[in-house]
Structure 1
Amino acid sequence: MIEKYSDHAANERTFLAWVRTGIAIIAFGFVVEKFNLFVRTIAEANASDGASRLRLERFSGSFSHYDGFALILIGMAIIVLSFVRFVRTSRMIDDQQTHSAGGIKVEFALAMVLGLVVLSMTAYFAL
């Protein structure tokens, strides 16, 4: 029987939840990138209508490109940091010493960065 099995199982479930979140954010980053490519294609196809082409080109700027790339990088960072935290927590569960839950909250920092990216995309499309 594995000692402290329920603690290790909870640690693994948390790790897998973070991995799923990271994969979803990476997928959303690819969607933003592909949407940018789609809008550029539509803008080039409607080259004869100047007004609609200008509106479409506004949405296919470099800002949208960087947002998609930022989402992909954030998703990758979430997966890497969740693995580091998983290994660290596994060692702490097996350790006989008592550990505090203190330290820098990496999840909070990543959530803030992700929130800023989403907020910037919202402001970009609303203007």
Structure 2
Amino acid sequence: MSSLNDPRVFFAAERTLMSWTRTSLALMGFGFVVERFGLFVTTLISQHSEPLQRGLSFWIGLSFILLGAVASIGPAVQFRSVLRRLQPEDIPSGYFTDLGPCINLAVTVLGLALAAYLVRSSLL
């Protein structure tokens, strides 16, 4: 990229990263709600003597959670790629540029942990 000496390019990339963070959190939250609502409905309908079975809502909810985790890590990698292409004068001096990708990495790890917990709890 050419030297624009304009921090707006950096901040636009950071806003895009944060919008993907919100999208991934929304996907994971929606997946959790779908999974738990299916469990709630199954609990209401099932007989007391039957073992609790997870239905289609479990797999759909789990898929949304995993999609949210993937939607969090990809943009973090892309943001780091954009930062490598920017000139040093395009990034405000003293600005901590790793906070956004670190948050996305944490969201990814927590999303995968949530998915693992749901799978483990369904097997018990």
Identity among equivalent positions (%) equals 34
Match of 1:17 among 19, 28, 31: 19
Alpha-carbon RMSD across the aligned residues, in angstroms, is 2.2
Aligned length: 81
Structure 2 equivalent of residue 43 of structure 1: 45
| Cα distance in structure 2, aligned partners of 1:79 and 1:71 | 12
Displaced runs of 4+ in structure 1, greater than 4 A?
none
Of the two, which has the highest radius of gyration? 1
If the length of structure 1 is used for normalisation, what is the TM-score?
A: 0.58
- Cross-structure match for 1:94: 87
Distance 1:62 1:81 in 2: 30
Unaligned runs of 5+ residues in structure 1 are: 49-59, 96-127
Q: In structure 2, give the amino acid aligned to 1:72.
A: I
Q: Which has the higher contact order (CA 8 A, sep 6+)?
A: 2
Report the TM-score, using the length of structure 2 for normalisation: 0.59
Q: Which runs of 5+ in 2 are unaligned?
A: 89-124
Could you tell me how far apart the structure 2 residues matched to 1:76 and 1:64 are? 18
Answer yes or no: is the 8 Å Cα contact 1:4–1:93 preserved in 2: no
- 8 Å Cα contact 2:10/2:83 also seen in 1: yes
Work out the CA distance in 2 between the residues paired with 1:75 and 1:5.
29
